[in-house]
Amino acid sequence: MSAVLSRVPALPSPNIIPSGEQSGAISDIVSWYRDRRGRQEFYVAGFAGVGKSVTANLAIEELKATCGVRNVRTAAYTGKAASVLRKKGVECAQTIHSLIYTAVEDEETGEVHFILSDDSPAADADLIVLDEVSMVNKEIADDLRSFGKKILVLGDPGQLPPVSGEGAFTNREPDVFLREIHRQAAGSPIIELATLARQGKPLPKGYEKDGVRVLPLTKESQPLIYREETQPICGLNRVRWVYNQRIRKLRGFEGETPQAGEKIICCRNNRDTGLFNGGMGTTLAAASEHEKLRGAWLMDVRMEDLRGPNLQLAVDPYLFRRNFTNGHAEKLPLRGTRLEEFDFGYTITCHKAQGSSWDDVTVIDDSSAFRDNRNLWKYTAITRAERGLTVLLRES
């Protein structure tokens, strides 16, 4: 992992004039940065479309002009989110993992492990900017803080609350809360639907605009879920199991054992191997029985989030098997051995999708299962889409 310098993120337009709300936020960020004895982190919160990234970029320009800031490291939790930042002009946006950890190869075994390193890109930063950080846990947050750098955090409180142990940067009141929808974002159909969802208003069935549509979930509309260019998102494991099986069959895969070229998702953090919950990857060969660990599978995978060699992993097969047994499969009773946990990634739950985004998303509306969090669920699922979005509503 090379320490590529991440320059100040480019502005979306040189003619952007900040709103009064944004100007106040920029002033607060500059004051925070200048106070070297103050809090290490500054948390900017706001819903989709309020211009959190634009505000951060303008603040960085001001810091560059007045505080001597030059080296800004911008990172997101997943490779998908980092890719979106690069498309928005942050050329060297990277994953948090590649920002602070360095790969080390064991000379005897050839295995690659990742360690916190003073040689990592974060070491020479004047400022670290983090986006899509709802899934960052305390361990990773503490590792980031250990570099002693000021950290500007961007978060969206409209999303589902993180599962236990996550949300280490966003589990407090924000320093700034942006509320005004940007004029440029106001015309976005994704922002329009996300705002309706957040406000608890019904999505208009039959809506269609600029690649965004809302349809009933029917036998006729189901094939939209199976398109290769889309990432289906649902809310329930039993729904996910059904669609994973259907999509695998359509793509020529059968049986519980992953074959070469299958889409998979990591379901458990393991800093040592560089794996994080929600990371997506592809199998490079069919899974095989592990020679030393009875019942485990040996899997060769390529992870989207990792720069570096492919990984050969010892994996517990129980999550793959649950797709075919309606959830009835138990973890292997191995003691003293930590197995990786993966599952098929053709259809994923909204909780697993947090921290990532895709060019095209198909939402299978399971929001009714989440009761008090139904609006947060729907909002989170919708905002995973960058361009194309299909929302399939269940008949009430």
Structure confidence at residue 80 (pLDDT): 81
More confident residue, 77 or 307: 77
Structure confidence at residue 15 (pLDDT): 65
Q: Does 28 have pLDDT greater than 60? A: yes
Q: Does 373 have pLDDT greater than 80? A: yes
**Could you tell me if 114 and 102 are in contact, meaning their C-beta atoms sit under 8 angstroms apart?**
yes
Confidence of residue 110 (pLDDT cuts 50, 70, 90): low
Lowest mean pLDDT among 75-89, 131-145, 358-372, 378-392: 75-89
Confidence of residue 9 (pLDDT cuts 50, 70, 90): very low
Structure confidence at residue 13 (pLDDT): 46
Structure confidence at residue 31 (pLDDT): 98
Mean pLDDT of the chain: 90
Structure tokens at 130: 């983090």
pTM over 0.85: yes
Q: Does 113 have pLDDT greater than 90? A: no
Q: Does 126 have pLDDT greater than 80? A: yes
Structure confidence at residue 108 (pLDDT): 72
Structure confidence at residue 85 (pLDDT): 82
Q: Does 89 have pLDDT greater than 70? A: yes
Counting residues of the chain whose pLDDT is more than 70, the rounded percentage is 93
Helix, strand, coil content of the chain in percent (nearest 5): 30, 25, 45
Label residue 249 exposed, middle or buried (CB < 10 Å: 0-12, 13-18, 19+): exposed
Confidence of residue 88 (pLDDT cuts 50, 70, 90): confident
Q: Does 340 have pLDDT greater than 90? A: yes
Query: What average pLDDT does range 302-329 have in this prediction?
Result: 87
Confidence of residue 185 (pLDDT cuts 50, 70, 90): confident
Confidence of residue 342 (pLDDT cuts 50, 70, 90): very high
**Could you tell me if 75 and 96 are in contact, meaning their C-beta atoms sit under 8 angstroms apart?**
yes
| Cα 100–Cα 105–Cα 106 angle in degrees, nearest 5 | 130
Q: Domains in the chain and their CATH numbers?
A: 20-183 (3.40.50.300), 187-235+357-393 (no CATH), 255-348 (no CATH)
Q: Does 6 have pLDDT greater than 90? A: no
Between the alpha carbon of residue 207 and those of residues 184, 194, 204, 337, the distances in Å are 20, 13, 6, 51
Query: How many Å apart are CA 391 and CA 380, to the nearest integer?
Result: 12
Structure confidence at residue 5 (pLDDT): 31
Query: What average pLDDT does range 235-252 have in this prediction?
Result: 96
Q: Does 253 have pLDDT greater than 50? A: yes
| C-alpha closest to that of 112 among 303, 283, 290, 312 | 312
Query: What average pLDDT does range 112-124 have in this prediction?
Result: 88
**Could you tell me if 162 and 133 are in contact, meaning their C-beta atoms sit under 8 angstroms apart?**
no
**Could you tell me if 322 and 241 are in contact, meaning their C-beta atoms sit under 8 angstroms apart?**
yes
More confident residue, 15 or 358: 358
Lowest mean pLDDT among 56-70, 88-102, 119-133, 229-243: 88-102
More confident residue, 50 or 186: 50
Beta strands in 137-253 (DSSP E): 151-155, 176-178, 208-209, 212-216, 231-234
Query: What average pLDDT does range 212-229 have in this prediction?
Result: 98
**pLDDT digit string (tens) for 143-183?**
999 999 999 999 999 999 877 677 899 989 999 999 999 86
Structure confidence at residue 2 (pLDDT): 30
Lowest mean pLDDT among 170-179, 278-287, 309-318: 309-318
Lowest mean pLDDT among 88-102, 315-329, 353-367: 88-102
Structure confidence at residue 335 (pLDDT): 65
